[in-house]
C-alpha cells in the first residue's frame, strides 16, 4: 500500500532538508575563493540558459513576455553575480586592529526559498546565488503553477554546481508540491531562514512558522509626476515599467498622481504613448476582473497585455493600446484600482499641488503596499526631499522606471528579486536582499579598557564593599586566590550589611 501524496511530500521535504544540512556542513568548510568559483559557475550556466528558461516560464504560466523574462533571468544571474562577486562573506570579513574588532561571517545553514509564479526562473537563480555566496544550502519550494520551469532551472543549477564541486544535496527542490510540503519546509527546526517571495498569505505563513524569515509584502507604488518634471520622459519611464513583462514586478507603478496645473499635458502624453483612458462603463467592467470575491488579486489578469484584459472584460480599446488607465478620486480596499495590479492597468489621480499629491500617495500606500516602493518624477530637489522624509516606503525612486529601478536594474540599488518592506510593511528588513542578509556576523572584541578606568572617566563612585585582595602566592587559598581569613571577613561584612 503506497503512501498518500501529502505524506510522500512531507517525507520528501524532510529528506531534502536532512541532505541539505549535511551538505552545508561540508560546504561551510570551503574558503571564500572556492565558494566564489562555484557561484560564478552557476551564474554562467543560468545566463547560458536564460532564453530557454524564459520561454518555458511564459509557456507554462501564461504570465508576461518571454523577451523581458530573458532580461529578468540575466538580472537573477549575471547582474546579481557582478554585484555580489567581491563581497566578503566567508571566514574573516572585516578587521579593525586599532579598535580590536574582528568580524566573522557565519552561514545561517539551510535556506527555505519560496518561489512565485510571476518571476519563477529568475527568482530561483537569484536566491540560489545569494544563498550559496553566504555559505548556505538551499531547499526550493516551487509555485505549483510554475513547477515545470522551476524544476528545469534547478536542474541547470544543480548540474553546474556538481561540476564545480558542490556537495551533493546542497541545492534541493521539492518535486511533490503540496501545501503540506510547504508547511513542513517552513516549520522544520533545521531551517536557518526563510526567503518568502509571493502572496500576502504565504508571507504571513512564513513569519508565523517559528523560524526566522525575510518576507516581501505586496507592492502598490504610486508614481508622482510633479510640475517640474520632463513629462514625456516621465510617462515613457512609467510605461516602460508598467509594460515590462506585462507588469509582473511588484515594484512597478500602480497609480499616476499628478498636479492640476499640468494635468492637460500629462493626459495628452499618456494618450500619445499608448495609454487609454477608460470611461465609467469600461472602468466598471474591468474592475470586475481585477479582484476575486475574497478581495485578492485575480490571477487571470496577472501578466496579461492591455488587449487581453480588454477582451476578457468585453470592452473595445484602440489598437496599439499599451496601458489601461482609469481616473479615480477615492482610495479604499474595495476599490480595485487603488490596489496592486500586476498587469498594465493604472489608476490616475489629479491633485491641486505637491502637498496634496504627497498625502494622496501616503493614502495609496497605507491602503496596500506600505514599506515597498514608489516613484517620483521631478527636478525640484526640495519636493523630492519632502517625499523622501514622509513616504512609508523602503525605496523612493527618482526619475526612473519603478520595476527596473526597484530591483536595481536602472539604479545603483542592490540587484534583487526580494525587496524588503521594513517594519511598516511587516518585513524583517527594508533592504534589497543580498548575501549579507543571509549570514550572521560573529564579532570578536578585544578588551581595550578596565572597569576602574570606566568608573574614573565617568566619575562613578565605587560601592562600599570589601575589595578583592589577592593572597600571598604561597598561601593556602580558594575562590581565585582569597585566603580563608579573606573569605571569613567578606562573609561577616555581607551579613552585617544584610542585618542593617
Q: Kindly list the catalytic residues.
A: 250
- Give 98's contacts (C-beta < 8 A, 6+ positions apart): none
Q: Which of 72, 377, 351 is nearest to 237 (CA)?
A: 377
Cα separation of 122 and 245, whole Å?
Answer: 13
Q: Count Cα neighbours of 197 within 13 Å in the Cβ-side half-sphere.
A: 28
Phi, psi for 310 (deg, rounded to 5) = -60, -40
Angle ∠(336,339,344) on CA atoms, nearest 5:
85
The bridge status of strand 101-107 relative to strand 439-445 is antiparallel
Cα separation of 260 and 264, whole Å?
Answer: 8
- Give 369's contacts (C-beta < 8 A, 6+ positions apart): 217, 218, 219, 220, 221, 254, 340, 425
Phi, psi for 136 (deg, rounded to 5) = -100, 160
Cα separation of 52 and 55, whole Å?
Answer: 5
Angle ∠(433,145,141) on CA atoms, nearest 5:
45
Q: Centre a 10 Å sphere on the Cβ of residue 454 and count the other Cβ atoms it contains.
A: 10
Pair 107, 439: CB distance under 8 Å: yes
Residues composing the chain: 500
Pair 250, 419: CB distance under 8 Å: yes
Cα separation of 186 and 203, whole Å?
Answer: 11
Sign of CA dihedral 303, 304, 310, 312: negative
Pair 17, 174: CB distance under 8 Å: no
Q: Centre a 10 Å sphere on the Cβ of residue 212 and count the other Cβ atoms it contains.
A: 14
Which residues face 451 on adjacent strands?
none
Q: Count Cα neighbours of 399 within 13 Å in the Cβ-side half-sphere.
A: 11
The bridge status of strand 137-141 relative to strand 110-114 is parallel
Cell of 266: 500629462
Q: Which of 87, 4, 14, 74 is nearest to 45 (CA)?
A: 74
Quote the DSSP letter at residue 189: T
Amino acid at each position: 500500500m503506497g503512501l498518500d501524496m501529502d505524506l510522500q511530500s512531507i517525507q520528501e521535504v524532510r529528506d531534502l532538508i536532512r541532505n541539505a544540512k549535511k551538505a552545508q556542513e561540508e560546504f561551510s568548510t570551503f574558503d571564500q575563493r572556492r565558494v566564489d568559483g562555484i557561484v560564478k559557475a552557476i551564474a554562467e550556466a543560468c545566463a547560458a540558459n536564460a532564453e530557454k528558461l524564459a520561454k518555458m516560464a511564459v509557456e507554462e504560466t501564461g504570465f508576461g513576455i518571454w523577451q523581458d523574462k530573458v532580461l529578468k533571468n540575466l538580472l537573477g544571474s549575471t547582474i546579481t553575480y557582478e554585484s555580489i562577486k567581491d563581497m566578503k562573506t566567508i571566514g574573516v570579513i572585516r578587521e579593525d586592529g586599532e579598535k580590536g574588532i574582528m568580524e566573522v561571517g557565519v552561514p545561517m545553514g539551510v535556506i527555505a526559498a519560496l518561489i512565485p509564479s510571476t518571476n519563477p526562473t529568475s527568482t530561483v537563480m537569484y536566491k540560489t546565488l545569494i544563498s550559496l555566496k553566504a555559505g548556505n544550502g538551499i531547499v526550493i519550494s516551487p509555485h505549483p503553477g510554475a513547477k515545470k520551469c522551476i524544476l528545469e532551472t534547478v536542474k541547470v543549477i544543480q548540474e553546474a554546481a556538481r561540476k564545480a564541486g558542490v556537495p551533493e544535496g546542497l541545492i534541493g527542490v521539492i518535486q511533490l508540491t503540496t501545501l503540506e510540503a510547504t508547511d513542513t519546509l517552513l516549520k522544520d527546526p533545521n531551517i536557518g531562514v526563510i526567503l518568502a517571495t509571493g502572496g500576502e498569505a504565504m508571507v504571513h505563513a512564513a513569519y508565523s512558522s517559528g523560524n526566522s524569515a525575510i518576507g516581501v509584502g505586496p507592492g502598490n507604488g504610486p508614481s508622482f509626476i510633479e510640475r517640474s518634471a520632463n513629462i514625456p520622459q516621465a510617462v515613457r519611464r512609467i510605461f516602460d515599467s508598467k509594460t515590462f513583462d506585462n507588469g509582473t514586478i511588484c515594484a512597478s507603478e500602480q497609480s499616476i498622481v499628478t498636479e492640476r496645473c499640468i494635468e492637460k499635458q500629462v493626459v495628452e502624453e499618456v494618450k500619445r504613448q499608448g495609454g487609454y483612458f477608460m470611461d465609467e462603463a469600461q472602468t466598471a467592467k474591468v474592475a470586475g476582473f481585477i479582484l476575486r470575491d475574497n478581495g485578492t488579486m485575480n490571477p487571470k489578469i496577472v501578466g496579461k497585455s492591455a488587449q487581453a484584459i480588454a477582451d476578457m472584460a468585453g470592452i473595445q480599446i484602440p489598437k496599439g493600446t499599451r496601458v489601461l488607465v482609469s481616473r479615480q478620486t477615492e482610495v479604499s480596499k474595495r476599490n480595485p484600482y487603488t490596489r496592486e495590479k500586476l498587469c498594465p492597468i493604472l489608476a490616475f489621480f489629479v491633485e491641486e499641488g505637491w502637498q496634496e499629491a504627497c498625502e494622496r500617495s501616503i493614502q495609496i500606500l497605507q491602503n496596500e503596499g506600505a514599506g515597498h516602493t514608489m516613484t517620483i518624477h521631478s527636478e525640484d530637489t526640495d519636493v523630492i526631499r519632502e517625499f523622501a522624509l514622509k513616504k512609508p516606503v523602503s525605496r523612493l525612486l527618482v526619475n526612473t522606471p519603478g520595476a527596473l529601478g526597484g530591483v536595481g536594474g536602472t539604479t545603483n540599488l542592490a540587484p534583487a528579486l526580494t525587496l524588503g518592506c521594513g517594519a511598516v510593511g511587516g518585513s524583517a528588513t527594508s533592504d534589497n536582499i543580498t548575501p549579507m542578509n543571509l549570514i550572521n556576523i560573529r564579532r570578536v572584541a578585544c578588551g581595550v579598557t578596565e572597569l576602574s578606568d570606566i568608573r574614573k572617566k565617568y566619575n562613578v563612585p565605587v560601592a562600599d564593599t570589601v575589595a578583592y585582595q589577592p593572597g600571598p602566592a604561597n598561601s593556602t587559598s580558594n575562590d581565585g586566590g582569597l585566603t580563608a581569613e579573606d573569605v571569613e571577613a567578606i562573609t561577616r561584612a555581607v551579613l552585617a550589611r544584610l542585618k542593617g
